[in-house]
Amino acid sequence: MFHICRAEIEEKQWKDVRIKPILLEVMKVAALSELTENSAPIFDAGFFTPGAYKLVAEAQDIMIAKIRPHLIPLTETTAFDDV
């Protein structure tokens, strides 16, 4: 799902070139959110070490703070297609 969404963001020719990096940041928040909510299989498989959850949660907080100024303008826009 994230790969498809990222490819769509990357391939689209945006009228305003500033929107692409913001949407990529939103995708990072979504990916980190998914990791924090559904992380049990990742830890069970040994892919993440025991302290990794805290790092992922901290990264999510940083990314949310980074995109926060852009959230209201993004939600109020009607220029995006629902892909």
Prediction pTM value: 0.74
- Inform me whether the pLDDT recorded for 64 exceeds 90: yes
pLDDT, tens digit (0-9, with 9 covering 90-100), for 1-49? 889 989 999 999 988 888 899 999 999 999 999 888 887 888 788 888 8
- Rounded to 5, what percent of the chain is helix, strand, coil? 70, 0, 30
- Mean pLDDT over 58-83 rounds to 81
Give, in order, the Cα–Cα distances in Å from 67 to each of 29, 46, 49, 61.
9, 31, 28, 10
